[in-house]
Amino acid sequence: MTSKENFLRTLNHHEPDSVVVDFGATPVTGIHVHMVEQLRNHFGLEKIPVKVTEPYQMLGEVDGELLEAMGVDVIGLSPPSDMFGHRMEDWKGYRTHWGQEVLVPGSFHVTVDEKGDTLMYPQGDTSVAPCARMPKAAYFFDAVNRQGLIDEETLDPEDNLQEFTLVSEEDLAYWKINTGNASRAGKGLVANFGGTAIGDIALVPGLNLKHPRGIRDVADWYMSTLIRTDYLHRVFEKQTDIALENLSKLAAATGDTVDVAFICGTDFGTQESSFCSVETFSELYLPYYKKINNWIHENTGWKTFKHSCGAVEPFMEYFIESGFDIINPVQVNAAGMDPSRLKEKYGNRLVFWGGGVDTQRVLPFGTPEEVKAHVLKECEIFAPGGGFVFNTVHNIQANVPLQNVVAMLEAIRQFG
């Protein structure tokens, strides 16, 4: 079978010829740009600067050569602008503070402060306050809190809808051309359209906005799920209306080229517990997810992708009720996330996209032999009967030992 055929069988819970593999198709299944360079060197590929395709997490492009070398079956398309509002064009060279030469969008502009931290600016406009900071010892950015004092009397839900706009004709043309080109690669195709991420905390700070208004502080947002639920309902309702209008246009532009739509990266789990109760999820989030997923399933052939880190086993039935087909990253080392139990209880109703290797302990700190054994065990649990796309538990970070990543790839090939 081809990569595409194996992928489609997997999505529909049928046994593929071999386990389907993803590295780089989404912003939560990617590889840090530093590791991408190391992998290119390992496979003897041309020494070229790697594109930073997602600068918030400093993820690197897994291009066609590396896809083949790593045995990847899935490719992804991202929006024409990144999280900071840079158009993904006019690529230029940039030297990171760890000394790597990479490629970044032309509007990518940063400064370095007196502490040696790198400051990022929305849309590359250095005349406004920075929206993110990369500490000098770090390898990715953290959002800067730019929220002012909240005045409850003047707080307007429209302020938290600044970034949700109708898709432009230029962007529709981008999706039509690029999904058409990507579909000819013979691999599964994930579209990261954007605009459907109900309550995603990574997007709350409005990193692409020069002057964000509304609730933009992470702590205030989480507290709002309890003390300002009417406000959030109004934000989510309007966001969903905009999203459905955009999805209608995007579906018309892309036709049947897309296999999976990345819907949401909102995290509901912590290592041991959750950010909210299942009752809050059911009342505040589920209706909007369900509306989006139902429209997609009624009008397209796309499967829908939900990301949530942490201990989310209690939410699984609610994710299913919401209409999600896929759950990621399957954090197998979080409380209650036993792989065997997840596969037995939900394996015929959810595709597990991830869970192939623990990225907190095993991949960064284990021996190559321990990595191989762990990967083989996870594949033996998740792979039977389809419904499993191999990926790590979230992105591969910058300083993971290369030999451990190679051991992981060898184990995947060994499992077949």
Q: Is residue 103 part of a domain?
A: no
CA 238 to chain centre: 23
Whole-angstrom CA distances from 146 to 121, 128, 199, 207, 380 are: 12, 11, 18, 10, 47
CA–CA separation, 159 and 238 (whole Å): 12
The residues near 247 (Cβ < 8 Å, ≥ 6 apart) are: 193, 196, 261, 292, 295, 296, 299
Q: What is the pLDDT of residue 215?
A: 97
Beta bridge partners of 305: 262, 326
CA–CA separation, 105 and 110 (whole Å): 12
CA–CA separation, 415 and 410 (whole Å): 9
Could you report the average pLDDT of every consecutive run of 10 residues in the chain (416 residues)? 95 97 98 98 98 98 97 97 97 98 98 98 98 97 95 95 96 97 95 96 97 96 96 98 98 96 96 95 98 98 98 98 98 97 98 98 98 98 98 97 98 95
Number of folded domains that form the chain: 1
Cβ atoms of 386 and 16 closer than 8 Å: yes
Q: Is residue 41 part of a domain?
A: no
Q: What is the pLDDT of residue 134?
A: 98
Token look-up 């954007």 returns 194
CA–CA separation, 137 and 98 (whole Å): 9
CA–CA separation, 155 and 144 (whole Å): 21
Cβ atoms of 389 and 21 closer than 8 Å: yes
Q: Is residue 21 part of a domain?
A: yes
Q: Is residue 126 part of a domain?
A: no
Token look-up 């649990």 returns 381
Q: What is the pLDDT of residue 299?
A: 98
Angle 262-266-263 from CA coordinates, rounded to 5°: 15
Q: Is residue 93 part of a domain?
A: no
Q: Is residue 133 part of a domain?
A: no
Q: What is the pLDDT of residue 416?
A: 83
What CA dihedral angle connects 44, 45, 48 and 54, to 10 degrees?
-110
Identify residue 33 by its one-letter amino acid code.
Answer: V
Beta bridge partners of 51: 103
Q: What is the pLDDT of residue 148?
A: 87
Q: Is residue 44 part of a domain?
A: no
Peptide bond into 329 cis (omega under 30): yes
CATH of residue 398: 3.20.20.210
The residues near 72 (Cβ < 8 Å, ≥ 6 apart) are: 21, 22, 23, 24, 62, 66, 187
In the DSSP assignment, the letter for residue 304 is E
Q: Is residue 15 part of a domain?
A: yes
Range of the domain at 258: 3-30+63-80+147-415
Element spanning 362, H or E = helix 362-365
Closest of 411, 351, 343 to residue 375, by C-alpha: 411
Q: What is the pLDDT of residue 1?
A: 86
